[in-house]
Amino acid sequence: MKREKYIITVPAEFDLERIDRIIPILLETDISRSQIQKLIKSGDITVNGSETRANYKVKTDDEIEIVTKEDDMLLPHEENIPINIIYEDDDIAVIIKQPGLVVHPGHGNYGSTLVSGLLYHIKRLSILGDPLRPGIVHRLDRDTSGLMVIAKSDAAYISLVEQFSSRTVEKHYAAIVIGKPVKDHALINRPIARHKKYRQKMTIDEDGREAITEYTISRIWHTDMGVFTMLNIILHTGRTHQIRVHLSAMGNPIVGDQIYSKKWEKYKVPYLLLASTYLKFIHPISREVLSFSAELPLHISEYIDKLDSMVNQ
């Protein structure tokens, strides 16, 4: 059996939360409470080196260690998960990922992922790269919705990975943030690295990797609940949590960001208000320039309606 170990240091904003509630949030995975409780009972989840209880309320800087056991040969399997495929040919597919869906297996969660749904609906996916991630050449966070391109052939995989690596893929996002940025338009060029203490988080770090995010304000709402701003975002690099880290560091975290916004629960949104809305790349075989746009997902459009109604009161 293969054993995987994950260590979480609890940030201050999760002080006194139940352990079985915060683990899926901080790992950004769909591991269920029942799975967590089973791991706790078997002694595979400990706090500060000691066994714990499922209703334990964590304290700031508690160190949670999670050990999962999986068969070495456990690979993704087909599941009938709805997938919105908007384009498909012999080599690629373009989809709109729904919010709340983990892209690929990991952190003890080997089912109910986008990969499982792709295997059911598309069948043929490139097997180059990580065997747990067939066809995957880029990713979106669990609660981020929107456009993704999938590699069906190995030739497509090689070409798309190169395009993402060389930054020739054009990627646009929409986000609703708390407050109003100082500038109407800006290029954020601040390096990002894994947080030295809270390893499940990323942070601005001068020793980190280059990260460039460009934004333009498109709408502003002044409400009794505060000021909110919609941003159109162009992602020039693709670091983990890049948009979320840059906007939070700027003082304008995305509404509903459970990791980078201390008051995320206040706004009662089911998912992060961030979506991939535009994707442009060169077809790996035909060399045709392809571009795709996606409407805002329902949870974001509903929040816009809510903000509009608050302004018009």
> Which residues are designated catalytic?
141
Angle between helices 19-27 and 33-41 (to 10 degrees): 120
What one-character-per-residue DSSP string does 35-62 give?
HHHHHHHTT-EEETTEE--TT-B--TT-
Distance between CA 121 and CA 114 in Å, rounded? 11
Helices (H), the chain: 19-27, 33-41, 114-121, 154-165, 242-249, 298-312
Find, among 108, 103, 109, the residue nearest to 83 by Cα. 103
Distance CA 142, CA 3 (A): 23
| CA 78 to chain centroid | 22
Q: Tell me phi and psi for residue 4, to 5 degrees.
A: -115, 135
Q: Which two tokens stand for residue 170?
A: 């054009």
The separation between CA 300 and the C-alpha centre of its own chain, rounded to angstroms, equals 16
Reduce the DSSP state of residue 145 to 3 states and report it.
strand
For the record, the structure tokens of 41 come out as 């009972």
Strand partners, 202: 194
